[in-house]
Amino acid sequence: MSQCKTCRAPLTWCETVNGKKMPLDAKPIKAIQVKEGIGEVIDVYLPHWATCPGADKHRKER
Ligand SMILES: [Zn+2]
């Protein structure tokens, strides 16, 4: 498992549909996916740049 350089949060990684690597918060959160009125509990991961206190730095690195 890797770590954010900025805030040292544990990260996990996935690839986007475009084949790009994306950092995710290591811990998923619970969310409800509703299809046709039926709710199902799913684990979802937040992209780390959405929660990182140093997100501005991530953007500058590009
Ligand atoms: Zn971070």
**What distance in angstroms lies between residue 30's CA and the mean position of ligand 1's atoms?**
21
In the reported structure, the alpha carbon of residue 53 is separated from the centroid of ligand 1 by a whole-number distance in angstroms of 6
In the chain, what is the straight-line distance between the N-terminal and C-terminal CA atoms, in Å? 22
Q: Distance, CA 38 to ligand 1 centroid (Å)?
A: 35
Interval between CA 17 and ligand 1 midpoint (Å)? 23
> What's the structural domain count of the chain?
1
Q: Domain range holding 53?
A: 2-61
Q: Are 38 and 52 in contact (CB under 8 A)?
A: no
The Cα–Cα gap between 62 and 57 comes to 9
pLDDT tens, N- to C-terminus, the chain (62 residues) = 799 999 999 999 999 999 999 999 999 999 999 999 999 999 999 999 999 998 776 566 55
What's the pLDDT score for residue 57? 62
Expressed in angstroms and rounded, the spacing between residue 45 Cα and the centre of ligand 1 is 14
Answer for the pair 52, 58: CB distance below 8 angstroms, yes or no: yes
